[in-house]
């Protein structure tokens, strides 16, 4: 059995799965249920000046019959009194001392407020802070949340205030609502943050009701931009995570990966691209806390199969496998192959290629079943047919190198090698 | 035990004849299945439908919430798409070709999804087709069955004024009179006919039979074209001794009685034998059982390999408790006091394949006798030979010969069972479309 225990900036947890700062972590009853279910830690829902929330608060994007492919919320930070939150945090730590208790903070935009909040939370015995520089709605209009994270200078200043006072680890959570997360990431690392977490939610409109013409979520006939999360945002999160993991300033601190993590596989992908642990919210909101069981078991089994004993054995292992386009090997070439024994003759590969790609699939008419074969000389190896094929391993991409030598685009140009002639 | 009616209490009839393929209970249930559809290109299901319904498209339209569009897609190809969703042997057509079969997964329930969209269209009386302004051409159609109605609808859309002559009191043809009641109800058949006619431009005259109340010559004089969709209808005779005893009936009239009268009024024996293993034989046998017969035995002179019905249909009969006897041909019906008492059959064996590749049954000389009080003959139907000959229509053993829809008489067209000798409803619908196309060509439209 592999060891899946995690140590993030000295904050220990029995597994690398934390619940992200969000509705599931906003009070004792939820957090205790999460710990009982087996979650390694929580980031307590953001504390700050008490706010008032609206009804409704969530909306979702469904796809192909699957519900909540993407999720959107317009909730603000905790709307409960600070002293109740603090008291409950103490109780949770006491009942589950082996779990990570990190508290998300978003104080009013001045040093005194931050210092005062830090002092009060440290008194609970919490293990760390996460600075909420990412909330994209409601708080930004008040100069907080993403309004801080979107401006590296402001973010740096706030982190400096925090570092003056904090005596426990500080994680800064980054907003994705920027063209690049790196500038703010660099600024806060330079200001002394101990760690980074990303991504927060992405500003979104999930849809419009075609009867009322009001976008959702519906609040008394109107809506607002919300924060988008869930499986749909994972690819964006992975990209942003990679840029932080590759930057020589930001990769000096550990990263907590967030954004659409729903399964152990998602978690492993985040960790391979540089996250030391992951935070989960939407998947738990959709299915309940019980999903952590398979996350732990799946991770463990995968590590055993791959021969990884600890998380550190594989964290970051894929970071260097993402390179600049110019460094890609132009002589690498593969072409599709359709396994006729597995083919069910649905024609999806054919129509995708014929209509939108390179007309590289041959159709031999049959009643009722057509036969589809690859025109190898036409196939550019784009993967589209394989991606749309509903049968596992029916279409495989087979390596047909142009030549054995590695040649990238820069070298290709230098040598004056030919471009396509049609 | 005699042949009697009223064998069962009312509730039992209702239970026995309730919908054998119930619809989706909820929209979500339909969506689960619709979302499974892969949206195949040049889809095998579509190619296996005689009317070429664009199945992937209509299912996709269910998933997008465009039910009106979905129904339009279906009805564009098959105006009886609602009825066909209940009576088509889909296991050998669209669903049988579904690519999921090749993955050893359950096929998409295409018929059930088709029913979902078409019933919603009928319930809401969505008018999905516009009739073009009248072009001043008149067509007489003989027979308001699937071929006639399909032809009429296609012509009416193009602005042709149609008059249908129907010998029965209701339209729908075999859909209304010749299919098991647990597949389609009389109410549904009426609704479907009304829905088809609601496009306008189609006048339907009931209880008008060709050769009796109306004559082909007269129709030719009064109309610009005539379309014959008179079907088949004469039960094939067994040509064995005792066939005229009381208690020997043909399946067509037995089913007609069920469809036309209340279940309790239909007479059925206690021990019933059914000759044949086609769809009609199954419908007769299962319904005899469901009307209260205690024993139903189906006899077929070949084996399961050669049977015309589908395995799904055979299983309905088996589940209903019908006994199946393969390789048995009726030889003589025995009776006393003019009434059936027993059936003597001969055991058969299969010989060499005939020209069509089907192995012919050969008598073995061994016979066996079963006690019965009713014999239902479902050995196929024959065309209205005499009527067709009398009208001097070129034919092949009573089946009207057509060339691109044209019969041997100028201005007279034909299609459906009267041409093909008896196929599925869906084939007749396609024949009606083809006939309409031929007529429109004839009009140079």
How far B46 CA sits from the closest chain A CA (Å)? 8
Q: Are A390 and A365 in contact (CB under 8 A)?
A: no
Q: How far apart are the C-alpha atoms of A242 and A321, rounded to whole Å?
A: 10
Q: Which chain A residues are within 8 Å of B97, Cβ to Cβ?
A: 368-369
Residue B95: closest C-alpha in chain A: A368
Asked, as a colleague might, if the bond just before A374 is cis with ω within 30 of 0, I would say no
**Least CB–CB distance from A348: residue in B41, B44, B47:** B41
CATH number (domain holding residue B297) = 3.50.50.60
Which of B31, B44, B52, B64 has the highest number of chain A CBs within 10 A, making it the mutation to test binding with A? Answer: B44
DSSP state of A131: E
Q: Which chain B residues are within 8 Å of A369, Cβ to Cβ?
A: 44, 97
pLDDT by residue (tens digit) across B70-104?
999 999 999 999 999 999 999 999 999 999 999 99
**Least CB–CB distance from A347: residue in B32, B41, B103:** B41
H/E stretch holding B206: strand B202-206
Structural domain includes residue B14: no
DSSP state of B40: -
Q: Say yes or no: B254 and B311 in one domain.
A: yes
Q: How far apart are the C-alpha atoms of B298 and B286, rounded to whole Å?
A: 10
CA angle, A360 then A365 then A370, to 5°: 80
H/E stretch holding B234: strand B234-235
**Are residues B44 and A390, on separate chains, in Cβ contact within 8 Å?**
no
Per the DSSP assignment, residues forming a β-bridge with B248 are B375
**Are residues A348 and B38, on separate chains, in Cβ contact within 8 Å?**
yes
Q: Are B346 and B363 in contact (CB under 8 A)?
A: yes
Which of A63, A207, A210, A346 has the highest number of chain B CBs within 10 A, making it the mutation to test binding with B? Answer: A346
Q: Are A269 and A278 in contact (CB under 8 A)?
A: no
Residue B1: pLDDT band with limits 50, 70, 90: low
Tell me the pLDDT of chain A averaged across its residues: 96
H/E stretch holding A218: none
End-to-end Cα separation, chain A, in angstroms: 56
Nearest Cα residue to A359 out of A389, A328, A384, A331: A384
Using the CB atoms, write b or e for A157-184: b if 16+ within 10 Å: bbbbbbeeebebbbbbbbbbbbeebbbb
Residue B45: closest C-alpha in chain A: A368
| CA of residue A114 relative to chain centroid, distance | 27
**Least CB–CB distance from B40: residue in A64, A347, A391:** A347
CATH 3.20.20.70 assigned to domain A6-321? The reply is yes
Q: Are B251 and B283 in contact (CB under 8 A)?
A: yes
Number of domains in chain B: 3
**Are residues B48 and A369, on separate chains, in Cβ contact within 8 Å?**
no
Interface confidence, given as ipTM, is 0.91
B42 to chain A, any CB pair closer than 8 A? The answer is yes
Category of A334 on φ-ψ map: left (φ > 0), alpha (ψ -120 to 50) or beta: beta
CB atoms within 10 A of CB B149: 32
**Least CB–CB distance from A344: residue in B39, B42, B99:** B99
pLDDT number for residue B354: 81
A347 to chain B, any CB pair closer than 8 A? The answer is yes
pLDDT number for residue B233: 79
- CATH 3.30.70.20 placement within chain A: 325-414
Query: What's the average model confidence in pLDDT over A294-307?
Result: 98
**Least CB–CB distance from B31: residue in A65, A351, A363:** A65
Nearest Cα residue to A126 out of A149, A104, A102, A92: A102
| CA of residue A347 relative to chain centroid, distance | 34
Q: Which chain A residues are within 8 Å of B35, Cβ to Cβ?
A: 64-65
Residue B43: closest C-alpha in chain A: A346
Q: Which residue among A135, A349, A353, A379 is the active-site one?
A: A135
B55 to chain A, any CB pair closer than 8 A? The answer is no
Q: How far apart are the C-alpha atoms of A71 and A23, rounded to whole Å?
A: 13
A355 to chain B, any CB pair closer than 8 A? The answer is no
Using a 10 angstrom Cβ sphere, with 0-12 exposed, 13-18 middle and 19 or more buried, the burial of residue A64 is: exposed
Q: Are B139 and B229 in contact (CB under 8 A)?
A: no
Q: How far apart are the C-alpha atoms of A255 and A16, rounded to whole Å?
A: 12
Q: Say yes or no: B81 and B163 in one domain.
A: no
A237 to chain B, any CB pair closer than 8 A? The answer is no
pLDDT at residue A221 above 60? yes
Within A253-350, strands assigned E span 255-258, 275-280, 334-338
Tell me the pLDDT of chain B averaged across its residues: 96
pLDDT by residue (tens digit) across B300-329?
999 999 999 999 999 999 999 999 999 999
Nearest Cα residue to B283 out of A387, B291, A268: B291
CB atoms within 10 A of CB A37: 15
Residue A346: closest C-alpha in chain B: B40
pLDDT by residue (tens digit) across B343-368?
999 999 999 888 888 888 999 999 99
Torsion sign across C-alpha atoms A399, A402, A404, A406: negative
Q: Are B58 and B128 in contact (CB under 8 A)?
A: no
Residue A135 known to be catalytic = yes
B29 to chain A, any CB pair closer than 8 A? The answer is no
pLDDT at residue B330 above 60? yes
Residue A48: pLDDT band with limits 50, 70, 90: very high
pLDDT number for residue B31: 97
Q: Say yes or no: B245 and B364 in one domain.
A: yes
Which of B27, B33, B38, B62 has the highest number of chain A CBs within 10 A, making it the mutation to test binding with A? Answer: B38
pLDDT number for residue A139: 72
Q: What percent of chain B lies above the pLDDT cut of 90? A: 94
**Are residues B47 and A350, on separate chains, in Cβ contact within 8 Å?**
no
Q: Which chain A residues are within 8 Å of B63, Cβ to Cβ?
A: 64-65
Q: Which chain B residues are within 8 Å of A346, Cβ to Cβ?
A: 38, 40-41, 43, 99
Q: Which chain B residues are within 8 Å of A363, Cβ to Cβ?
A: 42
pLDDT at residue B425 above 80? yes
Using the CB atoms, write b or e for A92-123: b if 16+ within 10 Å: bbeebeebbbbbbbbbebeeebbbebbebbee
CATH number (domain holding residue B95) = 1.10.1060.10
**Are residues B32 and A348, on separate chains, in Cβ contact within 8 Å?**
no
pLDDT at residue A147 above 90? no
Structural domain includes residue B10: no
Q: How far apart are the C-alpha atoms of B116 and B23, rounded to whole Å?
A: 7
Q: Say yes or no: B162 and B178 in one domain.
A: yes
pLDDT at residue B154 above 90? yes
Q: Are B343 and B369 in contact (CB under 8 A)?
A: yes
Q: Which domain holds residue B329?
A: 236-380
Structural domain includes residue B214: yes
pLDDT number for residue A142: 76
B397 to chain A, any CB pair closer than 8 A? The answer is no
pLDDT at residue A163 above 90? yes
Query: What's the average model confidence in pLDDT over A401-413?
Result: 96
- CATH 3.20.20.70 placement within chain A: 6-321
Q: Say yes or no: B45 and B156 in one domain.
A: no
- Dihedrals φ, ψ of A255, to 5°? -120, 135
**Are residues A370 and B42, on separate chains, in Cβ contact within 8 Å?**
yes
Residue B40: closest C-alpha in chain A: A346
Asked, as a colleague might, if the bond just before B17 is cis with ω within 30 of 0, I would say no
Per the DSSP assignment, residues forming a β-bridge with B403 are B406
Structural domain includes residue B129: no
Q: Say yes or no: B240 and B371 in one domain.
A: yes
**Are residues B44 and A345, on separate chains, in Cβ contact within 8 Å?**
yes
Contacts with A, B 70-99, CB within 8 Å? 97, 99
pLDDT by residue (tens digit) across B35-80?
999 999 999 999 999 999 999 999 999 999 999 999 999 999 999 9
pLDDT number for residue A140: 74
- CATH fold group of domain A325-414: Alpha-Beta Plaits (3.30.70)
Structural domain includes residue B4: no
pLDDT at residue A364 above 90? yes
B25 to chain A, any CB pair closer than 8 A? The answer is no
pLDDT by residue (tens digit) across B106-127?
999 999 999 999 999 999 999 9
Structural domain includes residue B257: yes
Pairing of strands A11-13, A395-399: unpaired
Category of A159 on φ-ψ map: left (φ > 0), alpha (ψ -120 to 50) or beta: alpha
Residue B27: closest C-alpha in chain A: A65
């Amino acid at each position: 059995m592999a060891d899946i225990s995690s140590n993030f900036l000295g904050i220990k947890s029995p597994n690398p799965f934390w619940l992200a700062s969000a509705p599931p972590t906003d009070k004792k009853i939820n957090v205790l249920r999460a710990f009982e279910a087996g979650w390694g830690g929580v980031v307590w829902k953001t504390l700050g000046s008490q706010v008032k929330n609206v009804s409704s608060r969530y909306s979702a994007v469904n796809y192909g019959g699957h519900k909540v492919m993407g999720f959107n919320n317009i909730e603000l930070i905790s709307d409960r009194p600070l002293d109740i939150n603090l008291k409950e945090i103490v109780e949770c730590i006491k009942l589950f001392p082996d779990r990570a208790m990190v508290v998300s903070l978003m104080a009013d935009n001045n040093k005194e407020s931050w210092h005062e909040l830090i002092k009060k939370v440290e008194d609970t015995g919490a293990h760390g802070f996460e600075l909420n520089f990412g909330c994209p709605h409601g708080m930004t209009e008040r100069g907080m949340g993403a309004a801080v994270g979107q401006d590296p200078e402001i973010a740096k200043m706030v982190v400096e205030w925090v570092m003056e006072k904090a005596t426990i680890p500080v994680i800064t959570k980054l907003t994705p609502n920027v063209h690049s997360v790196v500038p703010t990431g660099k600024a806060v690392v330079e200001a002394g943050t101990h760690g980074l977490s990303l991504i927060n939610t992405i500003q979104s409109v999930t849809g419009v009701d075609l009867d009322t013409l009001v976008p959702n979520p519906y609040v008394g006939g109107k809506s607002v931009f919300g924060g988008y999360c869930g499986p749909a945002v994972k690819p964006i999160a992975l990209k942003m995570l990679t840029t932080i993991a590759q930057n020589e300033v930001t990769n000096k601190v550990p990263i907590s990966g967030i954004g659409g993590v729903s399964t152990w596989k998602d978690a492993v992908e985040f960790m391979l691209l540089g996250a030391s642990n992951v935070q989960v919210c939407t998947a738990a909101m959709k299915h309940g806390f019980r999903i952590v069981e398979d996350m732990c078991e799946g991770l463990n089994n995968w590590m055993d199969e791959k021969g990884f004993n600890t998380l550190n054995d594989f964290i970051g292992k894929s970071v260097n496998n993402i390179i600049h386009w110019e460094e890609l090997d132009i002589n690498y070439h593969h072409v599709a192959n359709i396994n006729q024994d597995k083919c069910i003759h649905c024609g999806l590969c054919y129509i995708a290629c014929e209509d939108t790609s390179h007309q590289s699939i041959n159709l031999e008419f049959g009643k009722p079943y057509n036969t589809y074969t690859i025109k190898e000389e036409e196939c550019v190896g784009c993967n589209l047919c394989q991606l749309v094929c509903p049968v596992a391993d029916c279409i495989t991409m087979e390596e047909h190198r142009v030549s054995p030598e590695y040649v990238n685009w820069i070298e290709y140009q230098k040598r004056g090698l030919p471009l396509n002639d049609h | 035990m005699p042949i009697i009616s009223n064998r069962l209490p009312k509730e039992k009839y209702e239970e026995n004849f309730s919908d054998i393929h119930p619809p989706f209970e909820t929209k979500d249930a339909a969506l689960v299945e619709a979302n499974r559809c892969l949206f195949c290109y040049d889809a095998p299901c579509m190619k296996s439908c005689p009317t070429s319904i664009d199945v992937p498209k209509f299912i996709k339209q269910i998933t997008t919430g465009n039910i009106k569009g979905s129904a339009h897609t279906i009805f564009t190809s098959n105006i009886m798409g609602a009825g066909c969703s209940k009576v088509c042997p889909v296991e050998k057509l669209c669903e049988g070709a579904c690519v999921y079969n090749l993955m050893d997964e359950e096929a998409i329930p295409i018929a059930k999804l088709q029913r979902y969209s078409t019933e919603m269209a009928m319930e809401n009386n969505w008018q999905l087709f516009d009739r073009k302004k009248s072009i001043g051409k008149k067509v007489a159609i003989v027979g308001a069955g699937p071929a006639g109605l399909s032809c009429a609808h296609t012509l009416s859309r193009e602005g042709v004024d149609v008059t249908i002559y129907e010998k029965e009191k209701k339209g729908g043809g075999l859909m209304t009179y010749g299919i098991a009641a647990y597949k389609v109800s009389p109410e549904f058949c009426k609704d479907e006919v009304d829905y088809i006619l609601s496009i306008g431009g189609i006048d339907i005259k009931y209880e008008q039979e060709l050769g009796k109340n109306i004559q082909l010559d007269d129709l030719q004089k009064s109309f610009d074209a005539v379309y014959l969709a008179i079907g088949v209808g004469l039960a094939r005779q067994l040509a064995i001794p005792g066939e005229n005893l009381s208690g020997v009936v043909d399946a067509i009239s037995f089913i007609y009685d069920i469809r036309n009268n209340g279940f309790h009024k239909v007479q059925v024996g206690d021990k019933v034998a059914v000759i044949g293993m086609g769809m009609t034989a199954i419908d007769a046998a299962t319904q005899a059982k469901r009307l209260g017969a205690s024993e139903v035995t189906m006899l077929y002179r070949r084996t399961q390999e050669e049977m015309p019905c589908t395995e799904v249909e055979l299983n309905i009969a088996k589940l209903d408790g019908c006994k199946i006897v393969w390789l048995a041909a009726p030889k003589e019906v025995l009776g006393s006091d003019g009434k059936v008492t027993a059936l003597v059959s001969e055991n058969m064996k299969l010989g060499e394949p005939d020209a069509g590749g089907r192995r012919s049954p050969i008598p073995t000389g061994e016979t066996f006798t079963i006690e019965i009080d009713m014999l239902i003959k479902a050995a196929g139907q024959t065309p209205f030979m005499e009527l067709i000959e009398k009208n001097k229509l070129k034919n092949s053993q009573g089946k009207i010969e057509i060339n691109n829809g044209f019969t041997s008489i100028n201005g007279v067209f034909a299609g459906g069972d009267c041409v093909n000798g008896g196929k599925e409803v869906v084939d007749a619908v396609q024949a009606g479309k083809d006939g309409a196309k031929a007529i429109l060509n004839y009009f140079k439209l």
